[in-house]
Amino acid sequence: MADFEDKIERYTDSLYYELEQTTKFFRVFSLKFFKKMEMDISPDEFVTIETILCNAGICQRDLAKLILKDRANTGKILNALEEKGYITRFVDMKNNRLVRKMGVTESGKRVYDMVTEKLRNTIKKIDDMKQHNPIPEEEKQMVKKTLRKFRENLSKIVDMQI
């Protein structure tokens, strides 16, 4: 029996745990980063702006699926962005129905560009830290590819209720 137990992988030794811990660290990093910038935008708002920029005229339901937020939280983020003047909403037709879609304003694009530049510079500094374990670009691309596959497989069995 002890032999069998020794072969059982602990959750804290699993890929799932490593992903969870890395996500927690990155969440703290991003919250501190956005606070340090002293800008009136959160990490979730930034991701929302970027997603709208990459998917012009997206509706709230589709946006919610892409940012992995329920529609109520997505609505709150959109309301905040609209109040700040970073996005605009408009009515359009989709499948013969009226739907509200979003676009990014010029002010939103400026904020997005500014945050993107600062974020790239910060990530570059992290990548350039030689005293820490630098990760070669090939390994980064492999991890991205693997995580994408992992997420796609997981999404088939997880009902996100969006």
- Considering its fold, how many domains does the chain have in total? 2
Mark 130-158 as b/e (b = at least 16 C-beta within 10 Å): eeeeeeeeeeeeeeeeeeeeeeeeeeeee
Under 8 Å between Cβ of 104 and 112: yes
The model's pLDDT over 48-67, given as tens digits with 9 standing for 90+, comes to 999 999 998 899 999 999 99
| Residues 23, 109, 82: CA angle, nearest 5 degrees | 80
pTM: 0.79
Unique residue bearing structure tokens 């329920």? 70
Domain that holds residue 3: 1-36
What is the CATH number for 58? 1.10.10.10
Do 29 and 92 fall into the same domain?
no
Are residues 65 and 109 located together in one domain of the fold?
A: yes
User: Confidence class of residue 43 from pLDDT cuts 50, 70 and 90?
Assistant: very high
CB–CB of 130/114 below 8 Å?
no
* Domain contains 129: no
User: Is 103 in the same domain as 29?
Assistant: no
- Residues 102, 67: contact at Cβ < 8 Å? no
On whether both 141 and 156 belong to a single domain, the answer is: yes
For residues 67 and 142, state if they share a domain.
Answer: yes
Residues 17 and 4 both lie in one domain: yes
Question: Is residue 98 pLDDT above 60, yes or no?
Answer: yes
Q: Classify residue 1: in a domain, yes or no.
A: yes
Q: Are residues 21 and 59 in the same domain?
A: no
